[in-house]
Structures are given as structure tokens and as C-alpha cells.
Structure 1
């Protein structure tokens, strides 16, 4: 069973079988909460992802009066890591606007800030709709605000340390019953959690308590690309994060499974090939080639379509002259793109051409690292791309747009600017 959450983006990471290098599977068989997620990430014990590292990162927030720790505990019969947040002093309540400012004004990595705010936005948007207030006025009260900030930022910090290409999750269990809150007695699942999980596959589960909190719901929704059964994967690490509930003998645990796609592990021949040190210096990419045959368009229209594809995130585009049935001359339009950009590519091709179908092929591309440099010429400045392999520049290529701009500005021939760019770059 597989359900694509991001169907509006034509998410083909699993639907087309594109095998990414690293996979994280969220096995939320007994629900998910913020502390369970952080505990499970710590339990993976990847790279530097320990509690001391997390403490040092959280110091970048201007947040005081709390401490964190992690401990191995038994939940049911399973050993798991419990993430503990101890709020030691009275805290002021904070609204969503305050929390965004707190995160943005920190010295955390920009990707950590973005992910943290994305998760908080999901929660605040849900609370805003439920309580009928502005999203910026949504309050996270006292201790709960600190707990939420620490859980969410910790999740973002640890996730950012991982080299993850795709995240999958099982369906999300909800639980049932009621729970007492500062707003009174409310049903389980909490209204905010239910609002957040719109569009996400869920089920009740045999739980008479809350198993998925709003924070956990927001985390799984933001991080997950597809909700599916465990994909083909070579397992490397398993992380277990403990929750707070007494499951009456059943473990209250979130399980994270980290590994590589089975195609990457692949036949022995690939394992041997990738052992060569050359691959340590190359960027290995999983891309798609789109192609379609057009026999009723003029060269001008074909040129326009290629230009539009480039502007719509295509990595490369080209057209080939071909001979179709009944000896009709035609064009084969081709575009290279990332899997996540497929929807935009297809929409454009179907909108701008008369084609009834587009072929999609999965490919591997190995690319050298590239750096964009500025080169000063006697009459101006241009940009030059440098290809880097094993720490050495092996190829340089003046940037076309940059050279054209200087040619128009100075009146010099374009080929002369190209020649000078290569000469002055090489003579540095």
C-alpha cells in the first residue's frame, strides 16, 4: 500500500521508482510526538548527533531557564532513548510571531531555521483556524512553548546533520478518548493535530489515549515525501525514541529506520565500481530525461518551448531532428530535470505542444564540482565556471549571459570577451 501525499507536485520519488541514496523511514506504529522524534534521532547515533552536540547547537537560541538530557529507558519490552526537557524557571508565553523572531535572530544554520519555522507554521496555522485568531497571535503557553521550541528546533538540528534524500512514513495512528487542556476537555485526536493531518493517511489504532500530538503531526507532515509501507532499503541504523505513555505492556516508541536504497547497494559490480576514489570527488545524481516527438510545430515554436523549459528548472534541454511514420520530418524535444521538478516540466510540455504523451527515463549522472568565479578584464568583469576534480581546476567555461552583457556594454566582439576571459582566468 502506498499513498503519495504530495500528489499536487507529482512526487515520483517512489511512484516512478527513483532510487535515492539515503532513506529515512518513520515507523510511527504507536504514534509520534516531538520528544519521541528527537529521542529516535539521537538513538540513531549518526555522525556527531549526540546530546552534547545538540546542547551546543541549542545555545545559539536566546532561550534560557531549561536543560535537556537523553537517557536509555524501557518502554514495554523495548529499549529506547528518552529525550528530556526540564523547564526550570517561569517562562513568559510566546505567540507565533515571537517564536519566529527567536529562531530567525539565532545563529542556527539557515536550513535549521527554515525547517523549524515550517513545522511551527503548520501548528500555528491549525491553531489559528481552530480558535479563530490571526496566525501571528497564536499563543504557545509558558512551559509548553519552551517544550515545543526545544523539541522542534532539536528535530531540525539533528535532521539537518543527516544526508537524507527521501523520507517515507507509515500511516499515522491517532488514538481516541478525551484529554484535559488549558482550553478544557477536548477530544482525541486533538483538533490541532487533526487539522494538521489533513491530506495525510491516518487510522484510529487500538489506543485509548493521545498517540500523535500536534507537534508530532507537524513533524511527520513536513518531513515526509510519501506515506507507504517500508520501501526496498538496505538498513544501516535503527533509532528508537520513547514517549511518555504507559502502553499497558505495549511500547510507546517511535522507530526510525535509516538506510540506502537497495538499487544503490545493488549488484556486486556496482559496489566494486563505487570503491574507486574518483567517486569521492563526484556528485552522483538521480535525474530524469523527458522526451516527446512533435511533427506539427515550426522551428520558432520549438525554440520557444526549449527556452520555457530552461526557465522552468530544466537542467538541460535539446531538440533532435527525426523522421517519423509516413516519412514525416519532426523534432524530438528532450529535457533533463530533477524528479521533484517533473510536474512543472510535464505541465509545460502538455500546455505548449500538441503531444499526447511524454516519455520519462531514470538516469544516473556523475558531475564534477563546479565553482563560479569572477574574472577582471581590462574593460570589465565576467563570470567563469570552473570544474573541480580532486581539488584541481580541470575545465573553465565563461558564462554566456555575463559575456553577452559585457559585449553589449563595451561594443567588443563576444568571441574576444570569451578569449580574454579564458586568458585572464588562466594567468591568475
Structure 2
């Protein structure tokens, strides 16, 4: 049985999931081709590269939003891709501050201070986008489950039905790529079962549209119900709502590292740098006897 184990000692975000799966051997070119089946490729570019995190070589994955003609509304400054608290637009630096050490000039051009139209995609828009795509049924099913998890959490927090939940455009594009991308890569790697460690969530507080809230943010915490979480001394948000949703849907068991013959290991980089701990998500893939 092919088992994938997420070691979430430094938390989890959507881009860290993609990075760690690529690092473990998934094909990013095939990922890029599969994502084109959503027919929104004019809205983004993908970037992946090797970086060093506290001495650990890992893969950094980014969704770089392309310029648009409309620049009238919604200022998303510097590192736009991690303000991903969906309906509650999250302005904390979170797990993903801009890491100047590892960003190329090309990345910087795309990520530094863009102005975008403040359009929204509703939950229903995203469901339609996925259902109308040419993605495989399995990838569609997994992606829709993850988005439903997010939509239900946001709806619960804000007291609105699932159909009314909407996503800020910047968050929506990132989330679509991270969530559908995770589903594509899990399918590509032919994983039979996903397991995970308890998930580190960080500590301190976070700024969202409605004020200052303790970490984890409300949406992330809602999705982490029934999932073992671990507090850390690191200040800041280690687990984002997208990371929480992916874990909540994919992981069937939360445990210590299972007994298995290890076949592949991957490290997916976050963008923040900690003094005494690599900001990475580790994945271990192996054959587990039934």
C-alpha cells in the first residue's frame, strides 16, 4: 500500500504542499499541463525552484499573478499570494513572509505591489470551474471536497449559506491552483492513503479584516476540528486555511510516522525563515504493509 505521510512540524500551506510533492518526485510540467484544463491560465504563472531552509534543500512553489488591464481597486502589496483567508481577507505576514534571499528578479517583478480589480469568485463559481474542466473525475472529486470544506467553514464563521461564500480574487486564484494542484499531484503519485502528524499551528495573533485574532485564524481552526494540533513557541501563523483544508480532506489518519519502506522524501518551503527550525513541510512516501 503506497502511503504518503505529511510531517507537519512547521505547519502547512497550499504552496508548501505543492512544493513538497514536487520535491518528492511529482512532475511539475505535467502539473502545469493539467492545470491548463481549468482554462484560467491567463491569470497566473507558476514558478518552482530549489531553496535552502536552515541547511535543508527544499522546493519553493509560487503562483505569480499576471498583470491585468484593470488597476482601479484592491491594493495587494508585496507578497500577495499568501493573503489566503478567503472570505475574511487576511493581511498577516503569516507563514509566508517575502524571502528576498531566494527570489529571482523575475519573481520580484510579478510579486511586488500590484493593483487588481477587487472581483470575487463565489464558491459556486469555483465549483462550476472545476466541474466544467477536463480534469479527471478523481481530481475533480478531491478538489471539490477541499473547496467545500473551506466554504462550509467560512459560511459557519460568517453565518451565511455555502452558496453565498465568496473568495477575494487574489486568494481565489491561489487557492484554486494550490487545491486542484494538490489533487492532481496526489493522483499523479498514485497514493493509496494519506496520513499525517499532528499539525503545528503557531502562536500569537493575526490581523484579519475584522480585527486582531489569535492564531490559528478562525477559518483554519474551524477546519482543524477533530484533527490533533500542536502549539509551538514560534510566533505567527504556521498553518493557513488552505493548508488546513487540504490536510482535513486528504489525511485519513493522524499518527506518528508509520512503519514502512521509505521510497521518497520531499521538502516544501514556506517563505518565512525561523532561527532554529526550517520552515518546511516534509513528506515521506513509502510502501506500508497492510
TM band (smaller chain): 0.7 to 0.9
- TM-score, normalized by length of structure 2? 0.80
Find the counterpart in structure 2 of residue 22 from structure 1.
2
- Contact 1:51–1:69, Cα closer than 8 Å, also in 2: no
Alignment of 1:72 onto 2:50: yes
Deviation per CA, 1:356-402: give whole Å up to 9, x if none.
xxxxxxxxxxxxxxxxxxxxxxxxxxxxxxxxxxxxxxxxxxxxxxx
Larger radius of gyration: 1
Question: 2:286 & 2:152 partners in 1: Cα distance?
Answer: 33
Partner of residue 179 from structure 1, selected from 202, 206, 222: 206
Alignment of 1:138 onto 2:165: yes
- Contact 1:70–1:82, Cα closer than 8 Å, also in 2: yes
SS at match of 1:60: helix
Give unpaired runs (5+ residues) of structure 2.
69-115
Deviation of residue 67 (structure 1)? 0.3
Partner of residue 200 from structure 1, selected from 227, 249, 255: 227
Deviation per CA, 1:28-56: give whole Å up to 9, x if none.
110011000000011111xxx32211111
Find the counterpart in structure 2 of residue 85 from structure 1.
63
More RCO (CA 8 Å, sep 6+): 2
Q: Please, what is the CA RMSD of the aligned residues?
A: 1.3
- Contact 1:38–1:83, Cα closer than 8 Å, also in 2: yes
Partner of residue 266 from structure 2, selected from 216, 220, 239: 239
Deviation of residue 249 (structure 1)? 4.0
Alignment of 1:108 onto 2:86: no
| Residue pairs, 1:236-315, within 5 angstroms | 236-261=263-288, 263=289
Find the counterpart in structure 2 of residue 376 from structure 1.
none
SS at match of 2:5: strand
Total equivalences in the alignment: 240
Deviation of residue 138 (structure 1)? 1.1
Deviation of residue 76 (structure 1)? 1.8
Deviation per CA, 1:199-224: give whole Å up to 9, x if none.
11112122211001111111111111
- TM-score, normalized by length of structure 1? 0.55
- Contact 1:36–1:83, Cα closer than 8 Å, also in 2: yes
Partner of residue 12 from structure 2, selected from 17, 32, 47: 32
Find the counterpart in structure 2 of residue 57 from structure 1.
34
Give unpaired runs (5+ residues) of structure 1.
1-20, 264-285, 287-428
Deviation of residue 246 (structure 1)? 2.0
Question: 1:41 & 1:208 partners in 2: Cα distance?
Answer: 26
